[in-house]
């Protein structure tokens, strides 16, 4: 496996950590952020986040928030924040890896992390690490949703098999069960395949009526009317 972004990050961190820069850097940080004056060395700073009981939640939040204030104009602080969040970012990459594979997932996660570190809202002072990681995952999820929508729009007029395959790789709660009902309704002639697609796009993938109307080339009110009628037929099948 080729070196990914985490391997490159580890290498950069090791080179910096072993050099003379950390002592100078800590002094510079202490001059700008009073809460960092308590940090005696870089290992002590990392221990706050890596060792259970080494620091209170409030102390960790205060230090990480200070580093986030420094990070946009201080590359050493930037690197330190990434290292502090490394385990969480790797966990997010593992989750996203089922969609894209490890290397692309790592790239997407790191891009989201870089953006969030650069623009973290400083009024969010509690659970700072969790906030950053949560925002990163939200950004990654938005990328995935946009990708799903592009793939769905690429499907020809109606191909429920393709929609079913698209949903098969996703953790969409109830999606497979609903698609099974939709397929059964089509096979029994209760709804058309075209209307089945409206239900799948709306209920499984979360498209709005306006978005589905854009895909189908009709008015949103028409989409809603057809979808509601199709859902009524599916509901009758479900209780039959």
Task: Determine what percent of the chain is predicted with pLDDT higher than 70.
Answer: 86
Pair 191, 135 in one domain: no
- The total of other beta-carbon atoms located within 10 Å of residue 208's CB is 12
Pair 192, 214 in one domain: yes
How far are the Cα atoms of 28, 159, 186, 222, 227 from residue 12, in angstroms, in the given order?
A: 20, 48, 57, 57, 54
pLDDT digits (tens, 9 = 90+) for 185-233: 888 898 888 888 888 887 777 777 777 777 777 888 888 889 888 888 8
Pair 117, 198 in one domain: no
Nearest to 151 by CA among 176, 177, 170: 170
pLDDT digits (tens, 9 = 90+) for 16-33: 988 888 999 999 999 999
Pair 126, 166 in one domain: no
pLDDT digits (tens, 9 = 90+) for 110-128: 999 999 999 999 999 999 9
Residue-by-residue DSSP string for 54-78: SS-HHHHHHHHHHHHHHGGG-HHHH
**Full residue range of the structural domain in which residue 104 is found:** 5-146
Contact between 213 and 220 under an 8 Å Cβ cutoff? The reply is: yes
């Amino acid at each position: 496996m080729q070196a990914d972004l985490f391997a490159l990050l580890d290498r950069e961190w090791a080179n910096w950590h072993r050099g003379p820069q950390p002592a100078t850097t800590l002094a510079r940080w202490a001059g700008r952020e009073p809460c960092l004056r308590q940090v005696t060395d870089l290992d002590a700073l990392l221990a706050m986040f890596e060792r259970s009981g080494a620091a209170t939640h409030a102390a960790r939040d205060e230090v990480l928030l200070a580093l986030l204030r420094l990070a946009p104009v201080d590359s050493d602080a930037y690197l330190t924040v990434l290292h502090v969040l490394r385990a969480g970012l790797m966990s997010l990459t593992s989750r996203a890896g089922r969609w894209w594979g490890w290397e692309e997932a790592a790239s997407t996660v790191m891009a989201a992390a870089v953006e969030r570190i650069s623009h973290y809202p400083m009024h969010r002072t509690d659970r700072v690490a969790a906030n950053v990681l949560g925002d990163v995952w939200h950004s990654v999820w938005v990328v995935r949703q946009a990708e799903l929508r592009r793939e769905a729009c690429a499907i020809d007029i109606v191909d429920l098999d393709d929609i079913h395959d698209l949903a098969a790789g996703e953790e969409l709660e109830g999606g497979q069960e609903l698609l099974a009902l939709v397929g059964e309704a089509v096979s029994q002639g209760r709804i058309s395949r075209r209307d089945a697609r409206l239900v799948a796009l709306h209920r499984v993938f979360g498209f709005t009526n306006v978005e589905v109307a854009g895909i189908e080339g009709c008015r949103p009110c028409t989409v809603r009317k057809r979808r509601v009628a199709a859902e009524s037929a599916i509901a009758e099948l479900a209780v039959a």
